[in-house]
Structure 1
Amino acid sequence: MRSFLRKWQDEVKKTFTGRADEVPDWVPKLAEGNDPGYHLPGSAIWAVHGSMSPIVAGIRTLLMQALHPGALAGVHEHSSFREDPLIRLANTIRWIFTVTYGSSEAAENASRRVRRLHEAVQGSYSDNLGAQRDYSANDPELASWIHLAFTDAFLTAHKIWGGAIPGGPDAYVREWAQAGRLMGVEDPPLTEADMHRQLDRWYESGELRVDGRVAETVEFIRNPPLNRMLRPGYRILFAGAVYSLEPRYRQMLGLAVPRLGPVALPVRLATKAVLAVVRLALGRRGPSELAARERLRRLGVPAANA
């Protein structure tokens, strides 16, 4: 039994960091730098990103982002997500945690690195009216949709499965707007209400759509090539992501909260249980947060020991 649990724990770590035996080489570097960074202990960002709710939020983000044909074209035409989805996941986690926990210089460098990689991600797609539209991963409009989908997913998942947010939901939206600016978003929302208004504009614009490529993507997200030890838990987390979606987006994606006949299954509770087990595997504080606290203590920031 102990051997099984150790293997399961290693697979969880490998899934989120790319390594089971040690932390990625970029994590200890978060202890470097000569300023506190954009976010500190006690912030809304640290509360949300330091919880387990981002695991569900990540799945929800992918589902939401798939609704934009430009974003989806970029993934299908310029990504190896089918062959090695864990590399893409690990790179995304690296950027999120660097912006969350790193110095301002580290956050800016990480964002520039991603934007450089995005320079090659461009092409064209046919919009809902049949016209050819150019897309670029660094286009501010497309970056805005990606930022909105991310912010909404992480905030919603935390409101369902996380704890209190210092300053409330508006604080999270306002603080994470800095990440949007680093990625070229020109008008990131600063309040939860503003975020929903921007999402409504996208929904009403007619630019979002569902087609065969979206259905293929949703099916891949539903059944990614994970180690079989992780699949039962992932199925619950996927159901949790679907549960957290607004009904209008669930309908667009052709998804539904699992039911047993007329009875809705306890997805919310089951997701909470799986996240608690993952927390046991990963620990209360992750290595990125610990490295950040080491930097803050070196700089004499009072919040370091909070």
Structure 2
Amino acid sequence: MDPDDDLGLFGPGSVSWRVHASPIMLVAGLRSLYLQALHPRAIAGVAQNSSYRADPMGRLGRTSEYVVTVLYGTTAQAEAAARRVRRRHAAMRATDPLTGEEFRLDDPELLRWVHVAEVESFLTTALRAGLPLTPAEADGYYAEQRRAAALIGLDPATVPGTVAEVADYYAEIRPELRITPDAASTFAFLSAPPIPTPGTSLLGGLPLRLLVNLGPPRLLYTGIAGLAVSLLPPWARRLYGLPGLPTTDLTAALSTRALNLALTQLPRRLYTSPHHKAALARAARLGIPTPA
């Protein structure tokens, strides 16, 4: 296939392109990290194998690069990125903090948890920001994202593919989730990490120098982190010892809409990743309309 004709795993007509078009995805990415940390083995695997404390923005940048490559890259680019991730995971081991048992980071149960927590964070944040999706389209997003799950080695049939299936999955796995020392440490770190140097790009391509220019970076980041936490499911907030009240959900939705509205007033070139720009250019050459 001519690379100029390859719109990747999803394409302009997908729900996935609509969900990920907004710069509010930077909040969604942070929300997913808070949520993933509640799984004892998942966070132990990160703590024992990752350099996120020494280079937090570097790790976030690499994760962001992978996400946008899978979303907007050609099929070959997405598959190549996934092969690199699978090779890294296959070589990594960690020790369960509760049982002392050694486990592999490419254990399907862990991969499924990370995948579901990530895509549910993306969809929930987009909906709270005001993206108009029908229930069928919301289900369609989860079904589409099974393609991303397959790339990392999961059987798509074992991955929740609808809103109801994601809710059932959370209900099933919640007894396994808890605050461990690694989770508490990660929560504190995510809430107040070292401020990176200007020029670093966050999820979705939004340059940090732009955030710095908007005001004191620490105060701004604290607000974004607080919003990400408030967007967590009530049961997840309660696990962190925070209020799980319905009023928090309402406040989070209003704040997310306000932030999304402010960010989308910026020129799109400031928050559109290179992979997204390349995909839009390929679609334009083919005469295929793209989401506004």
Alignment TM-score > 0.5, same fold: yes
Structure 2 residue runs without a partner (length 5+): 197-211
Of 27, 35, 54, the match for 2:25: 54
**Contact 1:51 / 1:162 at 8 angstroms: preserved in 2?**
no
Q: How far is the alpha carbon of 1:154 from its aligned partner?
A: 0.9
How far residue 77 of structure 1 moved from its aligned partner, in angstroms, is: 1.1
Counterpart selection for 2:61 from 74, 90, 95: 90
Correspondence for 2:9 among 28, 34, 38: 38
Name 1:178's counterpart in structure 2. 147
Match of 1:65 in 2: 36
Deviation at 1:82, TM superposition (A): 0.9
Alignment of 1:124-139 (within 5 A): 124-127=95-98, 131-139=99-107
Q: Does structure 1 residue 156 correspond to structure 2 residue 124?
A: yes
Aligned in 2, Cα 1:83/1:58: closer, same or farther, shift over 3 Å?
Answer: same
Contact 1:240–1:268 (CA<8 Å) still a contact in 2? Answer: no
Give the whole-Å Cα distance in 2 for the aligned partners of 1:84 and 1:283: 28
Aligned length: 267
For 1:125-182, what per-residue CA distance to the aligned partner results, in whole angstroms no more than 9, with x for missing partners? 133xxx3333222111110000111111111111101412375210111111110111
Contact 2:41 2:96 in 1 (8 A): yes
Change (3 A) 1:217 1:84: same
Q: Does residue 235 of structure 1 match 2:222? A: yes
Query: How far did 1:118 drift?
Result: 1.8
Equivalence for 1:26: none
* 1:269 pairs with 2:240: no
Q: Is contact 1:33–1:105 with CA below 8 Å preserved after alignment? A: no
On the 8 A contact 1:293/1:305 being kept in 2, the answer is no
Q: CA deviation at 1:305?
A: 8.6
Find the aligned partners of 1:76 and 1:62 in 2 and give their Cα distance.
13
8 Å Cα contact 1:48-1:165 kept in structure 2: no
Contact 2:45 2:94 in 1 (8 A): yes
In structure 2, what is the equivalent of residue 80 of structure 1?
A: 51
Alignment-mate amino acid for residue 238 of structure 2: Q
Distance, in Å, in 1 between the alignment partners of 2:288 and 2:253 is: 37
Runs of 4+ in 1 over 3 A off after TM superposition: 31-34, 262-282, 303-306
Is the Cα–Cα contact under 8 Å of residues 236 and 271 in structure 1 kept in the other structure?
no
| Secondary structure in 1 matching 2:102 | strand
Check 1:202–1:90 CA distance in 2 against 1; reply closer, same or farther (3 A cut).
Answer: same
Is the contact made by 2:24 and 2:259 (CA closer than 8 Å) also made in structure 1?
no
Structure 1: tracts of 5 or more residues without a match: 1-30
Change beyond 3 A, Cα 1:248–1:120: same
- Aligned equivalent of 2:201: none
Tell me the distance in 1 between the aligned counterparts of 2:252 and 2:151: 35
Identity of aligned residues (%): 35
TM (norm. structure 2) is 0.82
Q: Deviations over 1:54-82 (max 9, x none)?
A: 11111111111111111111111111111
Distance 1:150 1:263 in 2: 21
1:104 and 2:75 correspond: yes
Cα pair 1:111 1:183 within 8 Å, conserved: yes
- Per-residue deviation, 1:33: 5.6
After superposition, residues 262-301 of structure 1 pair within 5 angstroms as: 266-281=251-266, 283=268, 286=272, 287-298=274-285, 300=286
- 1:14 corresponds to which residue? none
Classify 1:84/1:263 alpha carbon distance in 2 versus 1 (closer, same or farther; 3 Å).
closer
Separation (CA, whole Å) in 1 of partners of 2:104 and 2:194: 28
Compare 263-272 and 115-124 and name the one that shifted more: 263-272
Q: Does 2:133 align with 1:165?
A: yes
SS in 2 for 1:135: strand
Tell me how far apart the structure 2 counterparts of residues 277 and 193 of structure 1 sit (CA, whole Å).
Answer: 32
- SS of the residue corresponding to residue 95 of structure 2 reads strand
CA distance in 2, matches of 1:124, 1:282: 46
The residue number in structure 1 matching 2:288 is: 302
SS at match of 1:57: helix
